[in-house]
């Protein structure tokens, strides 16, 4: 009896499996029979509709049991007026007007160099001397002749005042004296070019030509003298900032190489717009008491070009834009028990600084603004506040 029951059960299973294999997708497709394929499709469509109906019933029940399931979770912050300083960031280079290479003014042998590199010198101090080729002796001879002409003139003048002698003798003596003195002055002027003196107080940065070398006037550089007391930075400012970047504006200067930042001011702005790059020049004074700042050093500048004492600042990331290009954010309305209504508010923005932007219109002090979740809510939608 048991054996018969086992055989019967096995037969039913084999028949069912045969039916499943017959109705499988592979078997239906391989049949190439239109009626069979259409029948299979109708079966699947019916099953899909039944599953959709069941899912809808389940969703309705879940919504009934958990009404807050679809309420967006958001964070918020309060708009507060604050002082906003906007900075224009530029790059500049350190310069000094007292950075001079002194060239030879006379040809000859560099006879003597009286200073060393790094030595501090005063204005007018003798730095070097060039062999004058006997010019000093010529000056001495001319001076003797000038002295004689002077004596002759003075004697002739006294005689003339006593009405002794002719006027022509007096005038000739005077003319000869003046000519001799002019020749002496001219020769002394030429002789002075054999001495190299400091045009200003500073430091000898480099001895370019060694003692004993032959130098040529206007062509041979002898040494470089630098004054690090009067340093400044030059930078090119876009013409759109011509009304904001003016004399006296505060500037934060950073020297990346030195790891140093100083506060200073603009001391001068140019009156000419460069037509090639549409910029104007600005000079920023640099305090240099420690003498660490050198000419041609690169500097990063932050110029305070705009200040608003009562600015409303918000993160740029929460701002959306519609098809018309209008910017908007969401603020909270009807706040009660950590729930509120999201209200779309159109705004007008101003200047940016980093990740925040200034709001000029559409927002007032004290408004609760949606931060996290700002791009996922809709106007008039109920939201749940996580944090204030």
Segments forming the whole domain that contains residue 188:
109-223
Is 296 found in the same domain as 245? yes
Q: Please write the tens of the pLDDT for every residue from 191-223.
A: 888 889 999 998 999 999 999 899 998 889 999
If one compares 69 and 262, the residue with the highest pLDDT of the two is 262
pLDDT of residue 97: 83
Cα–Cα distances (Å) from 127 to 31, 103, 123, 186, 227, in that order, read 111, 12, 10, 23, 15
**Across 286-294, average pLDDT:** 85
Instruction: Write the burial class of residue 76 (CB in 10 Å: 0-12 exposed, 13-18 middle, 19+ buried).
Output: buried
Is 247 found in the same domain as 232? yes
Please choose, from the candidates 153, 159, 144, 141, the residue with its C-alpha nearest in 3D space to the C-alpha of residue 178: 153
Rg (alpha carbons) of the chain, rounded to whole number: 48
The number of domains in the chain is 4
pTM for this entry: 0.56
For residue 142, tell me if it sits in a domain: yes
pLDDT of residue 12: 42
pLDDT of residue 291: 82
For residue 25, tell me if it sits in a domain: yes
Res. 66 pLDDT band, cuts 50 70 90? low
Measured CA angle at 368 (ends 362, 374), to 5 deg: 80
Is 116 found in the same domain as 44? no
Paired tokens of 152: 């002759």
Is 379 found in the same domain as 332? yes
Cα–Cα distances (Å) from 45 to 41, 278, 298, in that order, read 6, 70, 74
Query: Rounded to 10 degrees, what is the CA torsion of 8, 13, 17, 19?
Result: 60
Res. 62 pLDDT band, cuts 50 70 90? low
**Across 36-62, average pLDDT:** 84
If one compares 2 and 168, the residue with the highest pLDDT of the two is 168
- What distance in Å separates the CA atoms of residue 317 and residue 319, rounded to the nearest whole number? 6
Mean pLDDT, rounded, of the chain: 86
User: Does 11 have pLDDT greater than 60?
Assistant: no
Paired tokens of 15: 């028949």
In three-state secondary structure terms, 324 is coil
**Across 46-74, average pLDDT:** 78
- What distance in Å separates the CA atoms of residue 218 and residue 221, rounded to the nearest whole number? 8
For residue 302, tell me if it sits in a domain: yes
Looking up residue 304, the CATH number of its domain turns out to be 2.40.30.170
Is 198 found in the same domain as 232? no
Is 212 found in the same domain as 114? yes
User: Does 91 have pLDDT greater than 90?
Assistant: yes
CA 369 to chain centre: 32
For residue 103, tell me if it sits in a domain: no
User: Hunting for tokens 């005042």 — which residue is that?
Assistant: 161
Residues 6+ apart with CB under 8 A from 1: none
User: Does 341 have pLDDT greater than 70?
Assistant: yes
Is 279 found in the same domain as 327? no
């Amino acid at each position: 009896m048991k054996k018969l029951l086992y055989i019967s059960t096995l037969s039913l299973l084999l028949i069912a499996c045969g039916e499943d294999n017959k109705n499988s997708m592979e078997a239906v497709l391989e049949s190439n029979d239109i009626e069979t394929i259409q029948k299979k499709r109708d079966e699947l469509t019916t099953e899909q509709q039944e599953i959709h109906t069941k899912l809808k019933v389940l969703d309705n029940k879940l919504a009934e049991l958990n009404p807050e399931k679809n309420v967006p979770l958001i964070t918020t912050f309060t708009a507060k007026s604050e002082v906003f300083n906007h900075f224009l960031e530029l790059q500049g280079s350190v310069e000094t007007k007292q950075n001079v290479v002194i060239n030879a003014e006379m040809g000859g042998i560099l006879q003597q160099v009286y200073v060393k590199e790094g030595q501090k010198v005063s204005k007018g101090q003798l730095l070097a001397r060039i062999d004058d080729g006997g010019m000093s002796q010529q000056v001495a001879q001319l001076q003797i002749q000038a002295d004689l002409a002077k004596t002759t003139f003075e004697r002739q003048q006294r005689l003339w005042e006593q009405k002794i002698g002719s006027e022509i003798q007096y005038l000739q003596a005077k003319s000869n004296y003046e000519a001799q003195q002019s020749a002496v002055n001219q020769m002394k002027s030429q002789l002075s070019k054999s001495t190299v003196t400091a045009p200003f107080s500073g430091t000898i940065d480099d001895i370019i030509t060694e003692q004993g070398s032959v130098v040529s006037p206007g062509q041979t550089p002898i040494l470089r003298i630098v004054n690090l007391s009067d340093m400044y930075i030059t930078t090119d400012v876009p013409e759109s900032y011509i009304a904001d970047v003016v004399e006296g504006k505060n500037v934060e200067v950073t020297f990346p190489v030195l790891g140093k930042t100083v506060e200073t001011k603009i001391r001068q702005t140019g009156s000419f717009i460069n037509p090639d790059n549409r910029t104007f020049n600005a000079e920023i004074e640099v305090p240099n008491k420690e003498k660490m700042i050198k000419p041609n050093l690169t500097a990063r500048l932050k110029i305070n070009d705009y200040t608003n004492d009562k600015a409303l600042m918000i993160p740029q990331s929460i701002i959306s834009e519609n098809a018309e290009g209008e910017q908007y954010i969401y603020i909270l309305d009807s706040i009660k028990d950590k729930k509120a209504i999201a209200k779309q508010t159109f705004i007008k923005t101003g200047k940016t600084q980093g990740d925040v932007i200034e709001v000029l219109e559409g927002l007032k002090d004290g408004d609760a603004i949606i931060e996290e979740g700002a791009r996922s809510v809709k106007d008039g939608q109920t939201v749940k506040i996580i944090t204030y």
